[in-house]
Amino acid sequence: MHTLLIVDDEASNSEPLEALLQENGYRVFTAVNGQHGLERMDEVAPELVILDFMMPVMNGAELGRRLRANQATRRIPILMNSGTSEATVREDFSGYDAFLRKPYKIAELLSLVRDLLAASTKQA
């Protein structure tokens, strides 16, 4: 069972996503902002991080940069998602592995999660 971490400050986004991913066989943990997500990394040891871009305390770009700068977390795939355009996100942080613009289709999300986990497993 793959372990995922959702980092999103809005429960209206993270709770349905968490339920959907659990229904599809994933172990899912959540964090309410980038700082909380960073704190949960060792405890949760996710194989994939689904990261919202715009959050208080520490945004998704800052968390992404910290994950990429850390030897222990640099290879964990990041699925960035935002209501903001990808061009805007990329200006602040381009180190993510995939991008989904909110709102997105469930099938597209599940496909990306499977593909990112499969690619990550092959690299290991």
Phi, psi of 55 (to 5 degrees): -145, 155
Tell me which fold the domain 3-118 belongs to.
Rossmann fold (3.40.50)
pLDDT at 123 > cutoff 90: no
Contact by Cβ (8 Å): 84, 111: no
pLDDT at 116 > cutoff 90: yes
Rounded mean pLDDT, 68-84: 96
* Calculated CA dihedral for residues 60, 40, 18, 3, nearest 10 degrees: 110
At 2, the pLDDT band (50, 70, 90 cuts) reads very high
Answer yes or no: pTM beyond 0.85.
yes
Contact by Cβ (8 Å): 67, 91: no
Rounded mean pLDDT, 12-17: 94
At 121, the pLDDT band (50, 70, 90 cuts) reads confident
**How much is the pLDDT for 112?**
97
Q: Which residue has the higher pLDDT, 91 or 124?
A: 91
Which helix (H) or strand (E) segment holds residue 13: the answer is helix 11-23
At 93, the pLDDT band (50, 70, 90 cuts) reads very high
Tell me how far CA of residue 73 lies from CA of 17, 23, 47, 66, in angstroms.
Answer: 23, 26, 9, 9
Rounded mean pLDDT, 67-95: 95
